[in-house]
């Protein structure tokens, strides 16, 4: 078992990463809670809820609440239902919420925990690779019909318990999605790690490799968030690849492509801009091959129109000027923020689309 300590403005918390942790929860969870509510989704429930319930202390009453799997559960309706559950099972100030699932459940259950009785303890038990990103950093939220994550708080878990074994049931697309954010963290922090990732195939991933990647990803995220919890400065670097990714997700409609897959495509555009406009020498060819080898849906680029992408990006950034701030890389592990003009963005996007179509 590996462990990372994360410092936050309110308290420090441990991230435990290891195989089969869900079978030993009594060891990791304080016995002082009056009751526990496990919140999970309908898919994760079938796989892991029983294990989790069995491994919690018999001395503490355990309740469960299940929402339908999928991003659409990160909604006001589910939020209200879950608060009703908290009231119904009489959670008090000394109760605990466990968020068992991917980033959707982490964000939703975390927001419930942050506002029930003005905030009670919660533990993240991530069951997706992508959730290595969402389980650390304290951002919790639900979506509004008009935009993602518009309603939420900054509220840190008291612990993150990451059972690597639960990744075994993940469908391929969710592994790809998770590794979109893993490789982002590598690009942001560590050249050697990035090159190692680019040499590997996701279908041949070992548990050891996965555990190490998740731990390194969490360390990168934690160290940035510790320095800038409220995104006043360097936390922006975590948006590497995300400006285009958000535009693609919005354009295709959520669910068409996973978040991490969109990020992986966004990273390709980031490399293009860094190299062509700013003279960087990022390994764009190797990255393209890695995307292809692992079946990332790079072809979505042929389905989008540069001008529409641009409008979406400007909407997203609420900018009135015809320029957009991008996170780019001088070289691997050396990010910076720079303003890029509309015309250049359009040109580079068209070039990239042509390259991708031509292949």
154, β-bridge pairs? 139
DSSP 141-152: EEEETTEEEEEE
The sign of the torsion formed by the CA atoms of 16, 42, 172, 304 equals: negative
Contact between 158 and 121 (Cβ < 8 Å): yes
Residue 303 tokens, joined: 């389905």
* 149 is known as an active-site residue: no
24 contacts which partner out of a second copy, ligand NAD, none, CB within 5 to 8 A by kind?
Answer: none
What mask, x for binding ligand NAD by CB under 6 A, covers residues 115 to 154? ------------xx-xx-xx--x-x---------x-----
Pairing label, strands 139-144, 147-154: antiparallel
Residue 239 designated active-site: yes
Distance, in Å, from the CA atom of 160 to the CA atom of 141, rounded to the nearest integer, reads: 17
Question: Which of the 8 DSSP states describes residue 206?
Answer: -
Report the residue number, 71 or 191, with the smaller CB distance to ligand NAD: 71
Residue of 78, 143, 181, 216 marked catalytic: 181
Cα angle: 258, vertex 159, 117; to 5 degrees: 95
214 touches ligand NAD (CB under 6 A): no
Residue 302 burial (CB < 10 Å; 0-12/13-18/19+)?
A: exposed
Binding mask 63-82 for ligand NAD (x = CB under 6 A): ------xxx--x--------
Write each residue from 74 to 103 as x if it is in contact with a second copy (CB under 8 A), else as -, in one continuous string: --x---x--xx--x--x-x-----------
**Interface with ligand NAD, residue 40, by CB under 6 A:** no
**Shortest Å, Cβ 102 to a second copy:** 20
User: Within positions 165 to 184, which residues make up the interface with ligand NAD, using CB under 6 A?
Assistant: 166, 169-170, 174, 177
Q: Where does residue 93 rank: exposed (0-12), middle (13-18), buried (19+ CB within 10 A)?
A: exposed
C-alpha distances in angstroms, 207 versus 20, 50, 258? 12, 23, 22
As a dihedral over the C-alpha atoms of residue 17, residue 290, residue 172, residue 259, rounded to 10 degrees, the angle is 80
Active site residue 221: yes
Residues 122-181 within binding reach of a second copy (CB under 8 A): 139, 141, 144, 146-147, 149-154
Binding-site residues sit at 127-128, 139, 148, 166-169, 181, 242, 259
Query: Is 311 a residue that touches a second copy (CB under 8 A)?
Result: no
Examine the residue annotation and report whether 246 is marked as an active-site residue of this protein.
Answer: yes
Q: Which of 74, 242, 272, 312 is catalytic?
A: 242
Stretch that binds ligand NAD, among 99-107, 200-208, 229-237, 296-304 (CB under 6 A): 99-107
Region of 116-124, 125-133, 202-210, 294-302 interacting with a second copy (CB under 8 A) = 116-124
Q: Which residues are annotated as part of the binding site for Zn(2+)?
A: 181, 242, 259
d(CA 193, CA 123): 29
311 assigned to active site: no
Q: Is 242 a catalytic residue?
A: yes
How far is 153 from 139, CA to CA, in rounded Å? 6
**Can you tell me whether residue 245 is helix, strand or coil?**
helix
Which active-site residues does the annotation give?
118, 139, 181, 221, 231, 235, 239, 242, 246, 259
The contact set with a second copy (CB under 8 A) reads: 9-10, 76, 80, 83-84, 87, 90, 92, 111, 114-119, 139, 141, 144, 146-147, 149-154, 318
């Amino acid at each position: 078992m590996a462990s990372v300590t994360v410092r936050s403005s309110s308290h420090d918390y441990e991230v435990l990463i290891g195989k089969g942790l869900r079978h030993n929860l009594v060891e990791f969870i304080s016995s002082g809670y009056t009751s526990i509510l496990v919140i999970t989704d309908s898919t994760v429930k079938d796989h892991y809820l029983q294990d989790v319930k069995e491994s919690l202390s018999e001395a503490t009453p355990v309740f469960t609440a299940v929402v339908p799997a999928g991003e659409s559960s990160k909604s006001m309706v589910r939020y209200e239902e879950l608060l009703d559950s908290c009231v119904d099972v009489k959670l008090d100030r000394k109760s605990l919420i466990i968020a068992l699932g991917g980033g959707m459940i982490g964000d939703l259950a975390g927001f419930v925990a942050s506002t029930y009785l003005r905030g009670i303890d919660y533990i993240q038990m991530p069951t997706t690779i992508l959730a290595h990103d969402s389980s650390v950093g304290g951002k919790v939220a639900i979506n509004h019909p008009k935009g993602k994550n518009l309603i939420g708080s900054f509220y840190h878990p008291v612990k993150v318990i990451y059972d690597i074994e639960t990744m075994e049931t993940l469908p391929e697309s969710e592994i790809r999605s998770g590794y979109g954010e893993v490789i982002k963290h590598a690009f942001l922090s560590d050249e050697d790690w990035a090159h190692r990732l680019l040499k590997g195939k996701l279908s041949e991933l070992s548990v050891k490799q996965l555990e190490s990647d998740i731990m390194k990803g969490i360390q990168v995220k934690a160290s940035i968030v510790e320095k800038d919890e409220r995104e006043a400065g360097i936390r922006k670097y975590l948006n590497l690849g995300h400006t285009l990714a958000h535009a693609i997700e919005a354009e295709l409609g959520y669910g068409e492509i996973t978040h991490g897959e969109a990020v992986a495509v966004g990273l390709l555009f980031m490399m293009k801009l860094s190299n062509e406009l700013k003279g960087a020498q990022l390994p764009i060819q190797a990255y393209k091959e890695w995307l292809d080898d692992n079946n990332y849906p790079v072809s979505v680029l042929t389905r989008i129109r540069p001008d529409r992408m641009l409008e979406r990006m400007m909407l997203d950034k609420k900018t009135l000027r015809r320029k957009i701030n991008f996170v780019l890389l001088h070289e691997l592990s050396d990010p910076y923020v720079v303003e890029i003009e509309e015309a250049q963005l359009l040109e580079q996007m068209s070039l990239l689309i042509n390259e991708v179509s031509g292949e």
